[in-house]
Amino acid sequence: AWTQEKERGAVEIEGWLDAAGEDAALLILAGMNEGLMPRGTSPDVMLTEAARRMLGLPDREFLHARDLSLLHGMEAGRKKGGLVVLTAQNGEAGEPLKPSRLLFRVPDAELVKRVKKLAVESEPKETGNAREAFHRHKLRIPLPPAKGRTDLLPVTDFSAFLACPLRFYLSRRLGWRPGEEPAPGLDGRRFGTWMHEVLREFGEDSTMRECGDAGKIYEKVRTVWDAKFSPWEEVGALRLNLDLQREAGRERLKRFATEQAGLVKQGWRIRSTETALGEERDLPGRNKKVKCFSVGLEDFWVQGRADRIDEHSEYGLRVVDYKTGREKEAAAYHFAGGRRATYLRSPEYARLVRSDKKGK
């Protein structure tokens, strides 16, 4: 084996696992902050913590125990003062950081002393004139760009506004987007988009609308779903997480096939999919007509599409909104604590469908 001799006075920089085997008398650990240490597993839509434990893969608890053991080993192998730990108060973007939880895993007799050493007094709260405090504040939120057209809002944005008006303003009005690490597989949004595309293609097939055979329905949607993974499979890049996501999609579609076959036998038929609701209108600042509807506010219009509209000879029309996430009670989708409405999409769509005097 060949090793390069380090220059006189050079300081070696090791990774976390390599540092555990370092025999230097003085060891400095930097970045011992929560979120960085202990190291967690990579976020994965399908390979959850429970799935990792079932498959015998390292999960967060295992990594936590491993990192705590390494830290204690680094400390025990050195004289007092031989291990220096550095924690940052703020991250690269200025966000506040907390010390790692590993640093608080000490005997109770030492815990109070450790907390006092790591705790930093917060800055005193600003008091006095609100205008002066605003001008002293470093954060400056710019005004939204002036629009020379009628306000047009997607119906899904109501939920975003009710969840947090500030985040709504930053994302919808200013166009800000959070930095996101690339997911190792399909993220939740892409998984849901693919599922909606498969169900839309199914609903547009006139022959399948009359089909009450769950097996045939499943074969149709599974074929379309599997085709989306073909590019990875053809080049041999279908990794475990993608394979698990493909299988999870199949399970959802199998449940869909059973439910759809039952609906057909009950007399329900798919009337349309991805239906734009409202009436076509000429709006200022737009070159072509836009299909939208009013919510009773002047110069304010709402756009929306229904995932699917079903029709029954006796019961009329109904709106179907597909969900690919964890199943919830209907009230959990539409209301928060205190019965405050948070999800206005389905009720608004139902109101529009009822306007033709057929829907119920």
**Other residues' Cβ atoms within 10 Å of the Cβ of residue 345:** 21
Report how many helices (DSSP H) and strands (DSSP E) the chain contains, helices first: 14, 9
Two tokens at 329? 């009670």
C-beta separation of 304 from 156 below 8 A:
yes
Q: In the 8-state DSSP scheme, what is residue 138?
A: S
Sign of CA dihedral 27, 31, 37, 43: negative
Render 205-268 in DSSP notation, one character per residue: -HHHHT---HHHHHHHHHHHHHHTTHHHHHTT---HHHHHHHHHHHHHHHHHHHHHHHHHHHT-
* Prior bond of 99 cis (ω within 30°): no
Maximum pairwise Cα distance, the chain: 89
pTM, two decimals, is 0.55
Average pLDDT per consecutive 10 residues, the chain (360 residues; last block may be shorter):
64 80 85 81 69 82 88 85 85 79 86 82 56 68 58 81 81 72 70 94 94 96 94 75 88 96 95 86 83 79 87 89 71 51 59 54
Closest Cα to residue 292, out of 301, 283, 305, 282?
Answer: 301
